[in-house]
Structures are given as structure tokens and as C-alpha cells.
Amino acid sequence: MTIRLAIFDCDGTLVDGQAHVWEAMKAGFAEADLPCPARHEIVRGVGLSLPVAVRRLAPGGTSEQHATAVEAYKRSFFEARQQGRIEEPLFEGIADLLTGLHGKGWRLGVATGKSDRGLKNCLAMHGLTDLFCTLQTADRHPSKPHPSMIEEALADALARPENAVMIGDTTYDIEMARAAGTDAIGVAWGYHDVDELMDAGARAVAQTAQELEELIHG
């Protein structure tokens, strides 16, 4: 039996969490006494592991400042979640897409720059946890585009690279897929432009969740 595996990025692909990323990053940079980058620069780094994103956004900062910003970001995000202020809405059509693929025998996974706790909370919020057989996060892997997350997801699902596809909104996702030897599909509703995704090696870029399902099956 051929095992088919669809691996999804989270932020910018399944859910829109940019508002809280922006707020937490502002808090982190303020505590580290670093100038805060523009919002579009912060959003473009979504998908990278947090320490990597901070270093890219503040190349002139010290290692101590980077560490302070990372911890303050995590604390800000945790406090917002504890206070019930975190909203990470699913993009339109995503819930139906996931349940449809699962019902047709696809194994599903996530490969994300989120932490284990952040991903599990996000999926639980939307009642999606049981749909996924493998969850890979920045807590246990090098940052994208290193292929480690996909390689572990393939091992968990007992799938071969030629029968798997990575779906994401950033060039980091597409480059990670190419490095792991899997198919790669971009989505147009996230944080990197369509042309960037195609240039990075995406087979196609979906404009809607319905189109994405067709591309996955195709």
C-alpha cells in the first residue's frame, strides 16, 4: 500500500497568527533594547525558528540581546495565551481541506517554526489534533530550510519522499521540501509572494483551499 503524506506549515498556511507574532516580537525587541524592525520584515521571517528569525532581524545585536529578545517573545506570547488574547484563525476552507484529505486516506503532518506547546495549543483550539500523525517543531529540529523536520515526518508516517508533499507559504518551506526530496506546493494567502515561491521550486501555488486540494491530489 502506498502511504501518501501531506505536510503543512502552520502560521501563514493553516492559520493567520501574524498579529500576535508582531506584538510578541515588539515586546522582545523592546526588552532587549533593540530597534524594532518594520512589521512586514517581521512577518517575512515567520516560519524560521525564533532564534534564527531574531538574529536575521537584528544582525547588529549581541548574542545576549538576541537571547533576551527570544525569551521576552516567548513570555509575551505565553502571557497572551493565558489571558485568552491569542487568536489564530484558520484560513478559509482549511478545516474542510484537512478533514477531506484525512477521510481519503492521506496521512497528515505539520512542520513549523512554532514550539511544541504553541503548535499543540493551536491545533487543539481548532479541534484538529487527531487529524495529524506527525508534528515537527522548532523545539527539536534545525530551522527551516534544513530538511530535518520533513525527514522525521516521513519516518513517523512510514512514507517515502516521492509520495509526500510539503505545503507552505514561504520560500523556507519550499526550499526545505526540495532538500528533503518531496513535492512542494505553495499557498498564496501567506507571507511570501507567489513569484518567490515559484522561484524557490514550488510545483504550483494555490490561490484557494479548494485549488490546494486539487493540486495535492494531482
> What contacts 114, CB < 8 A, 6 or more positions away?
10, 11, 122, 137, 138
CATH 1.10.3470 fits 18-82, yes or no: no
CA distance 20 to 11: 11
Domains 5-16+89-217 and 18-82 share a fold: no
Examine the pLDDT at 121 and tell me if it is beyond 80.
Answer: yes
> How would residue 209 be classed by pLDDT, with cut points 50, 70 and 90?
very high
With vertex at residue 195, the alpha carbon angle to CA 191 and CA 201, rounded to the nearest 5 degrees, is 95
Q: What is the pLDDT of residues 22-32, one digit of tens each?
A: 888 899 999 99
Q: What is the pLDDT of residues 81-117, one digit of tens each?
A: 788 787 889 999 999 999 999 999 999 999 999 999 9
Chain mean pLDDT for the chain: 94
Q: Which pLDDT score, from 0 to 100, does residue 131 have? A: 98
Examine the pLDDT at 59 and tell me if it is beyond 90.
Answer: yes
Q: What is the pLDDT of residues 135-148, one digit of tens each?
A: 999 999 999 999 99
Mean pLDDT confidence for 191-204: 97
Mean pLDDT confidence for 69-90: 86
CATH architecture entry for 5-16+89-217: 3-Layer(aba) Sandwich (3.40)
> Which sequence spans correspond to the domains of the chain?
5-16+89-217, 18-82
